[in-house]
């Protein structure tokens, strides 16, 4: 199996030809959400970025095992220091339910939102709290190899020791000296050999709810550990691609590299991929500054910063309009432009269904298809793919107005091209197929109301009455407004 | 908090007043599916039965923690003997994927089907393979208390020892002597003290894929263990209700009782509830005799035994039409009758929206409501609730035809009653709201095609042409058939 795909490797900081370890198999591990609150705009970007990768590799014929984890334990409030309350336990206390009820609630919400965004289910979706035994085994290995040390029931990773043989900071570019000067003298860090050492296992305080027995204490695993343990379990000691948001490079992925390398004596991941962030009007999204928007709020328009509701496909289109390594700035203007663009694309596809073939063609569909593949092969350049598709849109519209023409086989190829790139690979979908039955209902009602009006104008009252009665049987009421334009409604109970 | 609910306790074999341990909290544990194949008709019954219980207790004001597990390891092919291949591993080998990919695929399918049946998500949905450490801890306790014994790396539960102090067979009514005579001399059982002892931990053979370290061997937990471990973890040592299909009484729930009682020194479950089975034309449903019908097949009609497709709400209505402790026999006739009944109910609710209040009332809505509660309080007697609701349906139709009347406050109460019992508690929903937009489209098209025909008959061709053109703009084509009745279709790409 061959491919021309180049992927930007965050580790080497350059684009590299993608060579899977065991073709036709490809293994991908992506860091999923910590499920302690509603899915927000920020979650949609890695989900869509790596869904695009999953779809494209599958399209190329690879058998992809796509693992995306759920973090349901160990992610503490201050993730850089690895200190503070567990995020899920805090929410459980606030909502007065069990931590695992918090997890269930927000996993359900996440799955619903992911389905709305038309992201495919990963092949395996492992949870941290479901892999305690695997994490304990990994800690044992790290202690045995000298990189983990126990202290007062907790176990930490010895970064200085690791740095003697390997290089801590190789992904994020952080320098150890800098870390040393920044993280000194923080309270409660006395257990550690060095304040920047991170926890592999934490002894639980008496009030801590999520706790498991271990050789060192009743406690819980450190946040970084789960991804090393679960990627090794489901993808093997070496696997192809590890993805996640750029905000996870440090400390999360840096610590993951250290753990896996120390345990296995070799690099585990061949390609590291990181999507960039979404800012809101130029600012980082954060609960504290009130610009935090959940996906449900975006889809309903129910947030003070939103001028309107934006559909899931508008969000998906908006994200695909930028290359995954660029930042995207969210604003109503940008979203509205995305909505227009998406609708234009869908409308052209509707027109494409109705195009009549000519005897000859003024378009080179093969060339257009090649350009789409080239863009994807260039580190998943989705905005360029979209720009080529809009070249197709302009062509479709020109055939419609008669200034261009297409022959029968060209028309078939063009339909295949749009099906392949728009629906199969970019994962967009025609929302009018769903909501749209609603839209279609509206359009059909317009025709019926118009016909009823015509009948009334002609004084064919038996016709207009019959229409009213038949609609009533469907639960639809027509109200003649004062200005003469009738309204209709479907009655609720 | 008060209730008048009586529940049939499978353990005492009688109806008992329901007294929760810690009101307003209620804990329910229900055995969920082993996720190695598509969800079938049989899965729908416990799902709907305990969804009804969850909904009713929640309606009464209880804070219900509803735990339903996913079995993703340890359920062997011959569940009575606890022998054979792991069901998920077998499927993984057939489909050439990882066991956890099998799990993900069929969990997703199960969740989709459960949503179609309008069952609410449980509060926690724990997985067996995610609770290995909890199961190992429980085995340690059982060994310490003398009820578990190690043999060649596996650990078994000593039923004779247990029976000295407690009574094995109390739920299923099985007598130990009978078990002893039936299970003697089976090959490969030499490790056990007695052939009917069941596995708590099994040493993995070299080819076994799902395996974890333990104090006894690298292996996997016995199937029965997960439910004891996870119910104790999420609901405590004593909890209110344990549910499941009657086919699980033996050996699964019998073994669960033995494990929990042996480990805790007391009964764990206060009320055991078991739903009865669904037969197909009088026979047990089984893959081997070819009468095995998945929910997707039922919803699409795509199975040789099906005369038509049946909607999710038809299935739900069909199941609610029988008391959960009775068997239900599936047949096309029975499903078609359920479909008619459900549609009659929905149509009456549509009519209810349109009823006009009179000055006086000939119906006692309060009495009707009381009868509905009485039926639910009598061990969730959903068929009786439905018969009372159909009393309401007959009344609605009589008001429509003028033979009965209802005043404004009665009308409000009747609407509330239908909302509460039909939608909130029985969990039915109006499918015309979803699929229905499609159905509505069909109905509106009928009106439009009819109007076009009228115009053609009157030789008003400008009208009929305008209709055709407007429909074309929506992608809808009308085809005049030879017999004169026009067909229409929406064009695909």
Query: Which residues in chain A are contacts of B454 at CB distance < 8 A?
Result: 463
Q: CA–CA separation, B170 vs A157, rounded Å?
A: 52
Q: CA B186 from chain center: how many Å?
A: 35
Residue in A65, A98, A352 nearest the CB of B124: A98
Query: Which residues in chain B are contacts of A356 at CB distance < 8 A?
Result: none
CA distances from B358 to A245, B349, B355 (A): 64, 18, 9
Q: Name which residue leads in pLDDT, A491 or A287.
A: A287
Per-residue pLDDT tens over the stretch B1-55 = 789 999 999 999 999 999 999 999 999 999 999 999 999 999 999 999 999 999 9
Interface of B with A in 255-314 (CB under 8 A): none
Best A26, A54, A104 member to test B by mutation, with max B CBs in 10 Å, is: A104
For strand B198-203 and strand B219-221, is the pairing parallel, antiparallel, or unpaired? antiparallel
Q: Which fold has domain B280-432?
A: Isoleucyl-tRNA Synthetase; Domain 1 (1.10.730)
Per-residue pLDDT tens over the stretch B447-460 = 898 888 888 888 88
A354 close to B (CB below 8 A): yes
Instruction: Over range A14-28, report the average pLDDT.
Output: 97
Per-residue pLDDT tens over the stretch A236-262 = 999 999 999 999 999 999 999 999 999
Number of C-beta neighbours around residue A361 at 10 A: 19
pLDDT for res B178: 80
Best B73, B115, B441, B444 member to test A by mutation, with max A CBs in 10 Å, is: B444
CATH 3.40.50.620 in chain A, residues? Answer: 6-275
Q: How many CB pairs under 8 A join A and B?
A: 125
pLDDT for res B453: 86
Number of C-beta neighbours around residue A412 at 10 A: 13
Going by C-alpha positions, the residue among A63, A59, A2 that lies closest to residue A27 is A63
B491 close to A (CB below 8 A): yes
Pick the CATH number of A6-275 from 3.40.190.10, 3.40.50.620, 3.40.50.2000, 3.40.50.1100: 3.40.50.620
Judge: B104–A125 Cβ closer than 8 Å, yes or no. Answer: yes
pLDDT for res B492: 47
pLDDT for res A436: 47
pLDDT at residue A491 greater than cutoff 70: no
pLDDT averaged over chain B?
A: 91
pLDDT for res B131: 98
Helices and strands per DSSP (H, E), number in chain A: 16, 17
Using an 8 Å Cβ cutoff, are A27 and A81 in contact?
no
Q: How confident is the model at residue B398 (pLDDT cuts 50, 70, 90)?
A: very high
Residue in A213, A454, A493 nearest the CB of B133: A213
Q: CA–CA separation, B246 vs B315, rounded Å?
A: 20
Per-residue pLDDT tens over the stretch A149-161 = 999 999 999 999 9
For strand A278-280 and strand A283-284, is the pairing parallel, antiparallel, or unpaired? antiparallel
Judge: A98–B444 Cβ closer than 8 Å, yes or no. Answer: no
Instruction: Over range A320-334, report the average pLDDT.
Output: 96
Judge: A467–B447 Cβ closer than 8 Å, yes or no. Answer: yes
- Joined tokens for residue B477: 């084509």
Helices and strands per DSSP (H, E), number in chain B: 16, 17
Residue in B123, B212, B467 nearest the CB of A101: B123
Best A109, A354, A437, A489 member to test B by mutation, with max B CBs in 10 Å, is: A437
Judge: B445–A441 Cβ closer than 8 Å, yes or no. Answer: no
Per-residue pLDDT tens over the stretch A195-218 = 899 999 999 999 999 999 999 999
Using an 8 Å Cβ cutoff, are A53 and A253 in contact?
no
DSSP letter assigned to residue A163: H
DSSP letter assigned to residue A122: P
Q: How confident is the model at residue B483 (pLDDT cuts 50, 70, 90)?
A: low
Q: Taking each helix axis from N to C terminus, what angle separates A435-457 and A461-473, rounded to the nearest 10 degrees?
A: 160
pLDDT for res A181: 73
Which residue on chain B is closest to A105 by alpha carbon?
B123
Query: Which residues in chain B are contacts of A129 at CB distance < 8 A?
Result: 130
Judge: A448–B444 Cβ closer than 8 Å, yes or no. Answer: yes
B435 close to A (CB below 8 A): no
Which residue on chain A is closest to B97 by alpha carbon?
A65
Judge: B121–A131 Cβ closer than 8 Å, yes or no. Answer: no
A420 close to B (CB below 8 A): no
Per-residue pLDDT tens over the stretch A117-159 = 999 999 999 999 999 999 999 999 999 999 999 999 999 999 9
pLDDT for res A184: 54
- Joined tokens for residue A143: 């202690």
Residue in A123, A130, A353 nearest the CB of B129: A130
HSE-up of B490 (CA within 13 Å, CB side)? 12
Per-residue pLDDT tens over the stretch B408-447 = 999 999 999 999 999 999 999 988 754 445 667 777 888 8
CA distances from A31 to A76, A246, B101, B272, B399 (A): 16, 11, 18, 41, 60
CATH 1.10.730 in chain A, residues? Answer: 280-432
Which residues lie below 8 Å from residue B233, measured CB to CB, with a gap of 6+?
B126, B131, B134
Q: Which long-range contacts (CB under 8 A, 24 or more apart) does A82-89 make?
A: A82/A198, A82/A199, A82/A222, A82/A223, A82/A251, A83/A186, A83/A188, A86/A208, A86/A210, A86/A220, A87/A34, A87/A36, A88/A34, A88/A35, A88/A36, A88/A210, A89/A208, A89/A209, A89/A210
Residue A476: its H or E element:
strand A476-480
Positive/negative CA dihedral, B313, B319, B322, B325:
negative
Q: Name which residue leads in pLDDT, B125 or B442.
A: B125
Q: CA–CA separation, B480 vs B488, rounded Å?
A: 9
Instruction: Over range B344-366, report the average pLDDT.
Output: 94
Q: How far is A167 from chain B (nearest CA, A)?
A: 32
Per-residue pLDDT tens over the stretch B62-109 = 999 999 999 999 888 887 777 788 999 999 998 889 999 999 999 999
């Amino acid at each position: 199996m061959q491919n021309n795909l180049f992927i930007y490797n965050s580790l080497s900081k350059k684009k590299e030809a993608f060579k899977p370890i065991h073709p036709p198999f490809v293994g991908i591990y992506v860091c999923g959400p910590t499920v302690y609150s509603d899915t927000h705009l920020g979650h949609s970007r890695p989900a869509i970025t790596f869904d695009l990768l999953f779809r494209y590799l599958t399209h190329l014929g690879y058998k992809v095992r796509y693992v995306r984890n759920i973090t349901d334990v160990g992610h503490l409030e201050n993730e850089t220091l690895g200190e503070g309350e567990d995020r899920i336990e805090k929410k459980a206390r606030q909502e007065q339910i069990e931590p695992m009820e918090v997890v269930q609630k927000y996993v359900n919400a996440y799955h619903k939102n992911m389905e709305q965004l038309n992201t495919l289910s990963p092949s395996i979706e492992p949870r941290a709290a479901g892999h305690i035994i695997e994490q304990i085994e990994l800690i044992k290995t790290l202690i045995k190899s000298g990189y983990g040390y126990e202290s007062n029931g907790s176990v930490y990773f010895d970064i200085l020791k690791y740095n003697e043989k390997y290089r801590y900071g190789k992904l994020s570019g952080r320098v150890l000296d800098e870390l040393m000067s920044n993280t000194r003298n923080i309270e409660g860090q006395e257990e550690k050999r060095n304040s920047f050492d991170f926890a592999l296992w934490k002894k639980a305080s008496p009030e801590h709810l999520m706790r498991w027995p271990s050789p060192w204490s009743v406690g819980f695993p450190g946040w970084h550990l789960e991804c090393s343990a679960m990627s090794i379990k489901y993808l093997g000691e070496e696997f192809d691609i590890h993805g996640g948001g750029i905000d996870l490079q440090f400390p999360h992925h840096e610590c993951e590299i250290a753990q896996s390398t120390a345990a296995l004596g070799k690099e585990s991941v061949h390609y590291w991929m990181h999507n960039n962030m979404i800012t809101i009007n130029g600012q980082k999204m954060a609960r504290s500054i009130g610009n935090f928007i959940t996906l449900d709020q975006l889809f309903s328009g129910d947030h003070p910063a939103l001028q309107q509701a934006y559909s899931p496909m508008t969000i998906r289109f908006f994200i695909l309009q930028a290359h995954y390594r660029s930042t995207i700035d969210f604003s109503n203007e940008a979203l509205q432009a995305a909505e227009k663009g998406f609708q234009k694309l869908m409308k052209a596809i509707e027109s494409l269904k109705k195009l009549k073939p000519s005897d000859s063609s003024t378009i080179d569909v093969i060339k257009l298809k090649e350009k789409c593949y080239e863009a994807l092969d260039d580190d998943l350049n989705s905005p360029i793919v979209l720009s080529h598709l809009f070249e197709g849109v302009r062509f479709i519209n020109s055939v419609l107005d008669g200034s261009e023409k297409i022959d029968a086989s060209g028309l078939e190829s063009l339909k295949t091209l749009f099906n392949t790139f728009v629906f199969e690979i970019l994962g967009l979908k025609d929302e009018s197929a769903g909501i749209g039955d609603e839209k279609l209902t509206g359009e059909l009602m317009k025709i019926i109301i118009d016909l009823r009006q015509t009948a009334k104008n002609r004084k064919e009252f038996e016709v207009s009455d019959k229409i009213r009665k038949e609609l009533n049987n469907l639960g639809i009421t027509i109200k003649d407004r004062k200005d003469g334009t009738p309204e209709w409604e479907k009655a609720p109970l």
